[in-house]
Structures are given as structure tokens and as C-alpha cells.
A and B are shown apart, each in its own frame.
Chain A
């Protein structure tokens, strides 16, 4: 399979051709959405729509951001941002603390706690939607940021990842901290947290995308359009009857919905790949 085996020639160009076809297949739906977000409703309503961008980009995007359909898209983006950041930071914080406790202390119930975390792997939100919805409703957390964030914030994966990493930290460091009379929290803040920075960043990239792209949960608990997130809000922009949807605005919203996570992936590609590989191990 190595490039060194194949000679430069026909097969070399066929390889590139195959990859380019693949890239086009991946890009085509996004390209079409982008084009649709730069033309008028009339151009889309009369198929086939153009395949090259038109001059209405600014108009469609500002209409989406400021007015939207039910609620300004800017509001939905803000909600998504709060949810994604809340989930990412929340997961990292509580996982970091509990992994520290599991690795560096001997306390009663440690093993049991470890297994409880493991079991949460088997309880994705999709299988406990109705009772979790009831819990959130009883707490009065429907249509709230805490309702959007809290049920998704416990993470076995992140806890295991930090535990794994702490196990590789040399014992001498904790030993030295103890000899110097530094308490456990001092050791945690001054040594463990700085050492975990890359792990945290890699995890943050994955968790941000995970939080931003949530669909089912916000669909259930945000009945107030003001609290909709952008990914779940797109579907709400379609008219229920036979009316023609406002495609340019909806497609502008779709592009806006994928922009932040895509920027995160591209600008932090190394961390993204590391996070993906780490969190699936």
C-alpha cells in the first residue's frame, strides 16, 4: 500500500482522481447549501436551482441572524454556544476532580464509584429520555441552560481518560509534593492540572462538537423558541402546512450551524485527532 511500492504513472493519477471524487461527494451537499444561501427564494422555487453562488449572501445571512423564522438565529447560536461550552467545561471539570480522587486517594466506595461511572456508558440520553425529561420538569429546569447542560454533563469517557493519564504521572512528583508539605489540592493545581493541559484541550474540541451538535435533548426540553439551539431550531423553521419553506434563510442557518464546529476542527486539527483517538480508546 505504501507509495513507494507503486510507480508514478497511471495508477498515481487514478489514485488522485479517486480521492478527488470522494472529496467532491463529501463537499457537494455543503456546496449546494452554501449556494442556496446566496440566491433568492424565487430561484430555488423554480428548479433546477443554480449551482453557482448568487449575490444575496449578505441579505440572506443578515435576515437569518436578525429575524430568523421563529426567533433570530443569533439567539439560537448564543444558546448553542452556552450549551456547548457548559457541557465541555462541565464535563472536563467534574471528570478531572473525580479522576484525581480515584487515582490519588484510598477512600471507601472507591471501587463502587468507579463501576457506577462505567455504567453511565450504557445510558446514553436517548434511552432515558422520558424519565430524564420528568426529572428536569420537576426541577423546573425546562427551557433553561441548566436543563440543557446538566443531564449531559456526566462523562465516563472523560473520567477514564484523565484517570489513564494520571496513572502515567511519575510517583516522584506526588512524593516530592508530600515531602515539601504541599497538600493534595496544591499538588492538583500546581502540578496535575498544568500537566493535563493538552489532554484537556483535545477533549475540549471533541466535547464542544458533541455539545453543539445535540439534537434530541434540546428538542424535548426547549419548548420556548427563545431557548432553541441552532441545530434543533433549523427543523422548526419549516412551515407545518403546504407552504414553501424559506429556503435561502434555512440554508444560511444550516451553514451557520456547522460553522463553529467546523472552524474548531480545522483550526485545531491536531488536537481534534488526538481527542478523537483518546476518547475512543
Chain B
């Protein structure tokens, strides 16, 4: 895809791309290169010299039970966040789509939490479930349930999942509602005239036609859960208790900045780089071309 009409010149276009080229080179490619380079070394304890270890950092990481546990944690976390927030959003979008009037009002009411930062969402949920003063934990206590996400790893995971999914409902709702409204009403009415009930219509017509939206949201939400939930984890649990909520991105931070283990942190960055690369390729190759109706 090229323009037929172009302007002549050599220095002008180079000048125009220069700002982006410089920023990209200095703050994206150079650091990424550094991460790859550092992942091959172990610095000595005083930081004076580096010892080349080849793939040693990677071997160590993959053999390290904490790192493998962090992979499992990330998988559980991402899948839970994605399914929970997409599930609630789809449910609300289906309801809103049934209305002839008023779906716009609900849309306004439901979309603005998109603007709440994950870290702020974390603080809000941590406040509700605070073990000493939280309202929800207090009422749970009245019901005989002793909530303590500071000590209980399962409860900690549940809380960061709900807080992360909560902030994401708006986004998913918006795309699901748009997807539903794009389905031709005539198709659904035809099915209704043929006697297909709501659930049958949903399963056989709406859901398949919605699949491009669903698939797109799946990938986008996994990316969100992987990378953008750092604020939620950091504010609510700081990865604890006993690393039960330490997702991969949190571990890069904890090992690199808190633990100062640069070689390992760099190797973790490289592994994450591969994960993002894979997700980006899936997003571009698969979503754009394969899922069509």
C-alpha cells in the first residue's frame, strides 16, 4: 500500500522521522539490547566486573522452583482475570443489548471505571478487604468467615484477581456491546420467528458471530493481566504472602530493583520479551485474518 503522489526530498523525511527514531533507539532498542546482553552475565557482588555465563542465568531460572511457581501463578492469575472480567462484561452487554432504549445510559454508567488506574483500583479493594478496618472483611467476619489475605495465599490471589478484573469490565463491556450491536437484527428475528428461544439463539447465532470480538478481547486481556496489573499487585499484596501473588512482571521488579539480582532480572526480561512477542504475533496474524464471519 503506497501513495501514488509523493513529495521529493531526502533530508526532510529523515528529519521528520528523527524524533521517533532517536527516542525508540535510546529508550527501547538500547535497553532491550542491554537486557539481552546482561542476561548472559553474572555481576560480581561488588558490581565491579561481569562474568560471562552464557545461558547460565536461563538454566538457573528454569531450574528455580520460585521462578517456575511464578509462571504457574501468572497463568492462574491471567486466566482468572480474563475469564472473570470478560464473563461479567458479556453478561452485562447481552442485557444492555436487549434494551431498545436506555442502553446508552447504562453504557455511560459502566464505561467510566476504565479511567481508574489499576493501582488506584488496588487501593480501593485493599481498603474494602483490609483485615483490620475493611467493611467487607468485617461483614464476612460477622458471618463467621475470618478473611485474611495477608496470611492466606488463596484469599490474596482471589482479591488481586477481582480487583484486576473489576477495572477491566468497562473495556470488555464496550467491545462486547459494539460487537452485539453489529449483528444484523434480521438474522435474530428470523430465528425467533422459527421458534428459537433466547438461549438457543445465543448459542447458535450470536456467540459464533461474536467470536472475532471474543478472540480479540481474549488476547488483549491476557496482555493486560500479564503487564498492566503490576499496580494492583504492588498495592494490595506486594507479591505475598510467600510469593503466592508474584506474577512474572512483579518478579522482574522484585529481583531487579529490590533484590538487585541484575543477571537474573535481565534473563527474566528476555523471557517476558518472548512472551510479548508471541502475543503480538498472535494478535496481528491470527486475529486480523483468521477469525472472520
Contact = CB atoms under 8 A, between A and B. Distances in A.
A5 B117 contact: no
B50 to A, nearest CB: 14
A200 interface: no
Contact of A126 (B178, B198, B249): B249
A1 B206 contact: yes
B203 to A, nearest CB: 12
B13 interface: yes
Nearest to A120: B28
Tell me which of B106, B138, B180 has the highest count of chain A C-beta atoms within 10 A of its own C-beta.
Answer: B106
Contacts of B23: 94, 150, 153-154
Interface residues of B, number: 104
B155 interface: no
Contacts of A97: 16-17, 19-20
B151 interface: no
Interface residues of A, number: 105
A94 B23 CA distance: 9
Contact of A264 (B111, B115, B175, B272): B115
A56 interface: no
A18 B88 CA distance: 11
Contact of B252 (A95, A126, A135, A150): A126
Contacts of A231: 117, 119-120, 231
Interface string B208-225: 000000001000100000
Contacts of A10: none
B24 A101 contact: no
A120 B9 CA distance: 27
A184 B12 contact: yes
15 contacts: A1-B188, A30-B124, A48-B135, A48-B138, A97-B16, A117-B24, A122-B277, A127-B227, A129-B252, A130-B35, A130-B257, A135-B30, A171-B3, A213-B117, A247-B127
